[in-house]
Amino acid sequence: MTKKLFFDTDCLSSFLWVNQEELLLRLYPGRIVVPNEVAGELSNPSMHHIKRKLSHLFFLGQLEKKQLITGTEESGLFIKMVINPAKNVIPIGKGEAAALALAKVYDGIIASNNIKDIQYYVEQWGLEYIAMAEILVDAKKMGLIDEYDGNKIWEDMLAKKRSLPADTFSEYVRNSEKNRNI
């Protein structure tokens, strides 16, 4: 069975901001889950165009919305991460916590750009994760984009103040390949 991807706000919005949601849909058809907390964060009135896109994708059934139900394992995990984390662990945001809790309970993959924030839980629970940069690499491997397209998307994301691990997509790909060969 192919695992579902549970997106946090930053990772999903990276694609929505630059009109690249179609790339996600083509890479992960029927596998994208958006926690209610993430949908709520992306429904900020100052970002009405993002809210409209998200609502349309839900309406078309291209994204699955998942709610944390009180009294369930995932809601308990959510509360621990947001309100009552382990000693010396900083509370994390609601979108990240919801995506992590759902990924753990439903054996999914966490899609997050905030690796530093989620690393404790990823390691503790043995979760798979993917970030925006790796998603673009996957799109290139699948032939959905070429390096030129990747650099353009990367540039657009930088213009929208997204934090990226390299100055260009090409640089990121080179560094990734170099690290793989070590």
Ramachandran class of 122: left when φ > 0, alpha when ψ lies in -120 to 50, beta otherwise: alpha
pLDDT of residue 48: 87
Q: How far apart are CA 89 and CA 103, in angstroms?
A: 19
- Three-state DSSP state, 11: helix
At 39, list the tokens: 């949908």
**Residue with the larger pLDDT of the pair 47 and 51:** 51
Which pTM was predicted? Answer: 0.93
Domains, in order of start, for the chain: 5-130 (3.40.50.1010), 133-180 (no CATH)
pLDDT digits (tens, 9 = 90+) for 137-169: 999 999 999 999 999 999 999 999 888 999 999
